[in-house]
């Protein structure tokens, strides 16, 4: 495939609006590319949704089975804060600007193009490469959950996700995430007669203090060597609508990043208990519901997949020139991980952000051959998101080597 074709595919994907949904047009586009290359593939509509779908494709046969994955959705856009149209590639030097360029249409495009170019050259693939292009990774991961439940990971020997890592990092562990929604129901009254009402905001603040204390108690002696500590945040709170009225309702949203030593299940049960005890002793009621609930994943840092990926990327990593500031930052990061870093190395690490692996590996949360490695910058979810053109092109070649070598 010529460079122009490679660039056009990424441009076309960025132009397809798949903000927090509407993945079907992306799946249809990928299907056409794969059909034209003679690669077996299938679109799987997302249950209970319209204009949403996963796509599954395979090359090769038999064992081992390397599952590769990328998501088709993106986060929302505030176009007023962009310096260019977020749904058209804007090139400035080596940088390609557009929504999803980093997170993660460049990684997905690179994987698909790598499969197509290997097929075009009739390169024999040892074992099976199975592509899972997912819907909804950014919100709840319903696409990955549906694929896992349908058995697409049952025979997998390894999982490679093309989320943005850049050249110098690979990720084998990621924290889980819980979003908790709280709704306080009180009774409105005139602020001159507060005894006539039930102040939902005050109730919510009191409960939040109790929850914060309980989370501290639960997490203070729990630590993971790779992922660190549980992270708890109160991110959203609303209540009342005017200064001279006792508020009858209030709501809050909590975000918790989890580690295997303090499970999602334990946290949810403990917080529900705090809410129930609060309700038993107070007027007014507070309701708790769980939004996102994805588990932490800690893979095998010594898995064959890690070795194959690092070997495939080595020559490209060594060609990169790092500034003194970039080198210092990487060395400091390595030090925090108990590692050392020199130019040309790939740090293998854990991160706070989650991936579709939390649904894919729900039955293999520790010790599985799992890695994140893909093109991108540090701009996911940001205005003026971008990816390096050269990095995008390099990762196509890196993926081709991985696909050829993993099964050997």
- Cβ–Cβ under 8 Å, residues 166 and 391: yes
Q: What Cα–Cα distance (Å) separates residue 33 from each residue in 6, 131, 185, 218, 355?
A: 12, 13, 53, 50, 25
Q: What is the chain's length?
A: 408
Token digits for 36? 């034209």
* Interatomic CA distance for residues 351 and 230, integer angstroms: 12
How does strand 285-294 pair with strand 245-246? unpaired
Among 23, 73, 349, 389, which one carries the catalytic annotation? Answer: 73
- Which residue in the list 103, 117, 137, 145 is annotated as catalytic? 137
Give the pair of three-digit tokens for residue 31: 């299907």
Contacts of 356 by beta carbon, 8 Å cutoff, 6+ apart? 69, 71, 132, 134, 137, 141, 143, 144, 161
Known catalytic residue: 137?
Answer: yes
Note if 12 is an active site residue: no
Task: Give the closest residue to 381 by CA, choosing from 39, 40, 74.
Answer: 74
CA-based diameter of the chain, in Å? Answer: 81
Catalytic residues: 73, 137
């Amino acid at each position: 495939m010529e460079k122009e074709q490679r660039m056009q595919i990424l441009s076309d994907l960025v132009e397809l609006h798949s903000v927090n949904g509407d993945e079907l047009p992306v799946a249809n586009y990928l299907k056409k590319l794969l059909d034209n290359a003679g690669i077996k593939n299938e679109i799987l509509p997302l249950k209970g949704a319209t204009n949403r779908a996963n796509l599954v494709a395979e090359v090769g046969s038999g064992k081992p089975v390397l599952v590769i994955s990328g998501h088709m959705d993106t986060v929302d856009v505030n176009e007023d804060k962009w310096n260019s149209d977020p749904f058209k590639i804007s090139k400035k030097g080596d940088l390609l600007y557009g929504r999803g360029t980093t997170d993660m249409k460049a990684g997905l495009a690179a994987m698909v193009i790598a499969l197509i170019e290997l097929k075009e050259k009739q390169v024999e693939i040892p074992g099976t490469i199975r592509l899972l292009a997912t819907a909804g990774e950014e919100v709840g991961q319903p696409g990955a959950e549906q694929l896992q439940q349908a058995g697409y990971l049952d025979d997998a020997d390894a999982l490679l996700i093309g989320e943005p890592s850049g050249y110098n990092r690979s990720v084998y562990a990621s924290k889980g995430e819980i979003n908790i929604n709280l709704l306080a129901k009180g009774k409105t009254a005139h602020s001159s007669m507060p005894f006539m009402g039930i102040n939902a905001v005050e109730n919510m603040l009191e409960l939040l203090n109790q929850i914060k204390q309980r989370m501290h108690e639960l997490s203070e002696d729990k630590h993971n060597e790779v992922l660190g500590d549980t992270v708890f945040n109160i991110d959203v709170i609303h209540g009342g609508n005017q200064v001279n009225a006792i508020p009858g309702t209030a709501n809050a949203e909590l975000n918790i990043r989890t580690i295997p030593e303090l499970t999602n299940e334990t946290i949810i049960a403990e917080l529900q208990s705090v809410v129930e005890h609060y309700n038993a002793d107070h007027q007014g009621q507070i309701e708790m519901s769980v939004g996102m609930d994805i588990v932490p994943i800690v893979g095998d840092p010594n898995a064959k997949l890690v070795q194959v990926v690092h070997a495939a990327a080595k020559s490209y990593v060594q060609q990169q020139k790092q500034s003194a500031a970039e080198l210092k930052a990487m060395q400091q990061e390595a030090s925090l991980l108990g590692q050392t870093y020199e130019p040309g190395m790939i740090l293998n690490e854990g991160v706070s952000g989650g991936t579709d692996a939390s649904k894919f590996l729900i039955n293999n949360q520790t010790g599985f051959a799992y890695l994140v490695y893909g093109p991108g910058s540090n701009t996911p979810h940001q205005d003026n998101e971008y990816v390096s053109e050269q990095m995008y092109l390099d990762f196509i070649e890196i993926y081709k080597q991985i696909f050829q070598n993993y099964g050997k």
